[in-house]
A and B are shown apart, each in its own frame.
Chain A
Amino acid sequence: MPRPKKSTKSSAPEARGLPKAATGIQGLDEITGGGLPRGRPTLLCGSAGSGKTMLAAEFLVHGALQFGEPGVFMMFEESATELAQNLSSLGVDLDALQKHKKIAIDHVHIERNEIQETGEYDLEGLFIRLGHAIDSIGARRVVLDTLEALFAGLPNHAVLRAELRRLFRWLKDRGVTAVITAERGAESLTRYGLEEYVADCVILLDHRTVDQVSTRLLRVVKYRGTAHGTNEYPFLIGDDGISVLPITSMRLDHEASTERVSTGIDGLDDMLGGLGLYRGSSTLVSGAPGTGKSSVGASFVDAACRRGERALLFAYEESASQLRRNMRSIGFDLDQWERAGLLRIDASRPTLHGLEQHLVHMHDLVLRFKPSVVVVDPISNLTMERDDRALKPALMRLLDYLKQLGITALFTSLTTDVGIDIADSQVGVSSLMDTWVLLSNLAGNGERTRTLQVLKSRGMPHSHQVREFVMGDHGVDLIDVYLSGDRVLTGTARISQVAQEEAASDLRRRDHERRLKELANHRKAIDAQIAVLNAQAQERAGEVEFAIERERLTAEGHSARSRANAQSRDVPPPRPRPRQPATPTTPRKGAK
C-alpha cells in the first residue's frame, strides 16, 4: 500500500503542472486536460438524475481497471446492491472487483429517527470507516456519494460543517483523489454549500429538458491551477457508460488525407476537380424534397462498396427495405453489399430518441462496424423537435469523431422548396462541412428539372456551374452544362435548344457544301480557260518558230544562189569590193 501519508498538497512531483488522475471517461479527460486533480477532492454537483453517481462510479472503476488505482466507494444513499446493479448494466462486475480488492464499498446509512443527539460529538466514526476502507485495499481514489445526505441525518449542522472541513483536509492529507457528489442547490452550486470546502475542482452536471427531449450537460466550473474547457459539454450515458462529447475536442488535430474518393457520380467527380472528395472529409447535400438527396447518398454508398470499403447508412426517413427497393429502381443494388457485409443500413425514426441518444447510437455503431464511409440521410430530421442550434454542436461532435477516424461522411439535409431560407437554415451547419452540394428544382415552362451545384469544396478546384441532374436506370448522373449565350439551359429548354442548334448547323453544313461545290466548279471553269489559252499560246509559238525558220531558210537560199552565180562566171573574186547593199552574210562569206 504505497500511499503518501504526509504532504498537504498532492503526491510527490508538483514540478510540471498539476498532477492529474485520469478518469478514463471519454471526453472528460480531454476537457480537463488529463483528469481530476490528483490527491485532491473534486466536487461533482448536479440535480437528481443528472448522472453524478454514474460518473463517480466510472471514475472509480476505470481507476481500478485501467490505471491500477484501487478505489473506495462510500455511499450515503444507494445500497451496495443497487450500485452493483447499476454498474452491471455497463458490464462492470462489482463483486469481482471487490473480491480482488480493487474496489471497497461502504454503505453509510443514517436514519434520522433512530438517532438522538445529546451533547458533543464528532464524526470520527466516518473517518475511521473511510480510513479503514482505504487501508484495506490501498486505495488511491475515493468517492463519497452523496455526502450531503449527512445533513439530513445529523441535526447539528455546525458540527457537521466543521467535520466536513476536517474531512476534506484529511482526504488531501491521505493523498487520495476524491470525488464528492452533491445535490444542486437553488442558488448555490450545492444545496449545503459544499463548494466552499472544495476549492480545487468543481464539476457541474445538468439535465435539461427542452421540448420533451432531455440533454445532459457537463461543465467544469472551476479547476484551480490548470486550464480547462469552460463550456457546457453534452454528455451521454450509453451502453459503454458516460461519454462526454467535447464540442470541438478543444483542438482540430485530425490528419487531413490527400487521397480522393469517388462520389459514385462521374459528373460530380468531374465537378470536384475530376477526382471526387477527399477521404475523411465531410459533405453536405442539401435540397428540397424530391431533388434526389437520398439517391446521391445511395450512390456514394454504392461507390464505396464497389471499392470494397465498408459503408454505414443511417436512414431517418425510410425503412431499410424501402430504401433498398427505391434504390434498386435507379440501379443501385444495395442488397448485394449488405449480403457481402460491406453495407449496414440503420433505419430509425428520429423521434425515437433525442439527438444525444442518436449520437451515442451513431458512435456505437461506427465504433463496432468500422466503416470508411458514413451517410446520414437526412440530418435535418434529427432536429425535428429542436432548433438548429442544438444540431450544430451535435453535428460538430459527430464530424470530429468521424474525422478523427478518417471516415468520409456525407450528410443530406432537407430544405424547403421555397429557397429563400435555404442559406439561413443551412449556413450554420454548412460551415462545418468541407463540401456543400446543393440540389434544387428548377421549375418553369411547364416542367421541373433537377439541378446540382457545388457551393463549396474546400481545398480543391471545383466547377461553379449548375449541372442538370438525372436519375436513370443506371444510377445518377449529371449532364454537361449547356450554355446558350449567357444562360444555362436545362430540361426541355436544353433539348429544344439542342435540336434548334442541330437544325441550324445542318443548314449551315449544306450551305457550306454548296459553296464548296460552287468553288470547285468555278475552279474547273478556270482550268478549262487556262487550257484554251495555253493551247493558243502554243499555237502562236509554233507559228512564230515556223516563220523564223522559213525566213532563215529563205535567207540561206539567197546566199547559196548568189555564190553559185559567182562561181559560174569564174572570175576571181574582186578584192576591193564595192560596198553594196548586201545581206550581212556576204562579208562573213568573204572572210571565210
Chain B
Amino acid sequence: MSTHKSSAKAAAAAEKALHEEEPEVAEWQLRLYVAGHTAKSIAAFENLKRVCETHLAGRYTIEVVDLLVNPRLAAGDQILAVPTLVRKFPEPIRKIIGDLSNEERVLVGLDVLPKR
C-alpha cells in the first residue's frame, strides 16, 4: 500500500538505493527509524539489509526515516528508541530496537523464522 510513499522516502534518506525490489510485490514492508548518520544507524541499516537479502530476497521494501529530518514522524509509530525497525506489513506491526546485530533475534522479531 505504502509503496509509492516509500520510494519518495528512500530518495530523501539519500542512502544507497534501498528498494531493490519491485514496488508492487513488496510482501514485507519494513521501515527503519534512525536519527542522523550515527554508527548505530549505519550498522542497523547494513545489518537489516543483509538479513533481508538472505531471507527475504525480492520480497521486501525498506524505508529509512531520519527523525532528525522528520521529527514529527516519530509519534506515528511510537518511536522512542533508535534505531527502530518497524514491520509495517504483514500485520501485526512489530518493532525491533537496536542495531540489529543479532540476526537470529531480528528474524524472530520479524517473525520470519518459520518461513526459513
Give A contacts to B, CB under 8 Å.
106-110, 114-126, 128-129, 131-132, 150, 153-154
Once A121-B83, A125-B35, A128-B68 are accepted as A-B contacts, the answer to whether A110 and B78 lie under 8 Å apart by CB is yes
A120 to B68 CA separation, bound complex (whole angstroms): 19
Min Cβ gap A136→B in Å is 8
A515 to B72 CA separation, bound complex (whole angstroms): 117
A414 to B56 CA separation, bound complex (whole angstroms): 83
A108 to B99 CA separation, bound complex (whole angstroms): 22
A423 to B95 CA separation, bound complex (whole angstroms): 70
A153 to B84 CA separation, bound complex (whole angstroms): 14
Q: Is the CB of A116 within 8 A of B97?
A: yes
A107 to B84 CA separation, bound complex (whole angstroms): 18
Q: Which of B80, B93, B94, B102 has the most CB of A within 10 A?
A: B80
- Choice from A114, A122, A131 contacting B81 with Cβ under 8 Å: A122
Q: Is the interface of A mostly helix, strand, loop or mixed?
A: mixed
A188 to B98 CA separation, bound complex (whole angstroms): 31
Give B contacts to A, CB under 8 Å.
33, 35, 40, 43-44, 47, 67-68, 71-72, 74-75, 78-84, 92-102, 105-106, 108-109
Q: Is the CB of B74 within 8 A of A115?
A: no
Q: Which A residues lie within 8 Å of B82 (CB)?
A: 121-125, 128
Q: Is the CB of B74 within 8 A of A121?
A: no
Q: Which of A106, A116, A153 has the most CB of B within 10 A?
A: A116
Nearest residue (CB) in B for A113 is B94
Nearest residue (CB) in A for B84 is A125
Once A108-B80, A110-B80, A124-B35 are accepted as A-B contacts, the answer to whether A119 and B98 lie under 8 Å apart by CB is yes
Nearest residue (CB) in A for B78 is A109
Q: Beyond the given A106-B75, A122-B82, could you list 11 further A-B residue pairs with CB under 8 A, ordered by the A residue number?
A: A110-B78, A110-B80, A117-B96, A118-B98, A118-B101, A119-B43, A121-B99, A123-B81, A125-B80, A129-B80, A154-B81
Q: Is the CB of A122 within 8 A of B94?
A: no
A109 to B74 CA separation, bound complex (whole angstroms): 12
Min Cβ gap A116→B in Å is 3
Min Cβ gap A157→B in Å is 13
- Choice from A114, A122, A123, A132 contacting B71 with Cβ under 8 Å: A132
Q: Which of A108, A115, A128, A153 has the most CB of B within 10 A?
A: A128
